[in-house]
Structure 1
Amino acid sequence: MSIYVGNLSYQVTSEDLSSVFAEYGTVKRVQIPTDRETGRSRGFGFVEMETEAEEDAAIQELDGAEWMGRSLKVNKAKPREDQKRSGSYSRRY
């Protein structure tokens, strides 16, 4: 599992996010997606921790917390939807 962290400041780095979550346990991985064209952070990220108990503690403490002038949105990440879908829909009758 991983944790979704939303409403991040665009200046947040993976190291910044890792250090905040490290207060609640061992951080295995941090990912902050960037815009393909601008290279700028998209304002959210994902954190993987060693145990589910550590993830739960971090979510409980950090959801709604103020950090870098923003109120964080922190919860369990939802699985990605099937990426095979295209932008167009075809109908069969």
Structure 2
Amino acid sequence: MNIYVGNLSYRMSDSDLEKVFAKFGEVKSAKVIMDRETGRSKGFGFVEMMTELAGNEAIESLNGSEIEGRSLRVNEAKPREERPRRQY
């Protein structure tokens, strides 16, 4: 199950994110999204849990919870919609 995690602290790393979700089950991957130009965190990421059950439990427990002073937004990730590429 793929999970969107928003409103992350800008100091949070992939491994920090994985540790937060590991309490609920096996984490397949955890990725904080970085800005290509600045290398800074964009304040959101994605976590893939091995099972649907673990994913739902993590969403229930973590949505609205506070980590590093920020209230997390956690929900099931929606597939990315295709957007036309920008013409320059």
With the shorter chain as reference, the TM-score category is: over 0.9
Query: CA deviation digits over 1:18-54, x for unaligned, max 9?
Result: 0010000000001111111100000000000110000
Q: Report the secondary structure of 2:42's partner residue.
A: coil
Contact 2:29 2:47 in 1 (8 A): yes
More strand by share: 2
Taking only the aligned residue pairs, the percentage that are identical comes to 56
Give the 5 Å matches for 1:1-93.
Answer: 1-83=1-83, 85-87=84-86
Q: State the number of aligned residues.
A: 87
Q: Which runs of 5+ in 1 are unaligned?
A: 89-93
**Larger-gyration structure (1/2):** 1
What is the TM-score when the length of structure 2 is the normalising length?
0.94
What is the TM-score when the length of structure 1 is the normalising length?
0.89
Q: RMSD over aligned Cα, in angstroms?
A: 1.1
Q: Which runs of 5+ in 2 are unaligned?
A: none
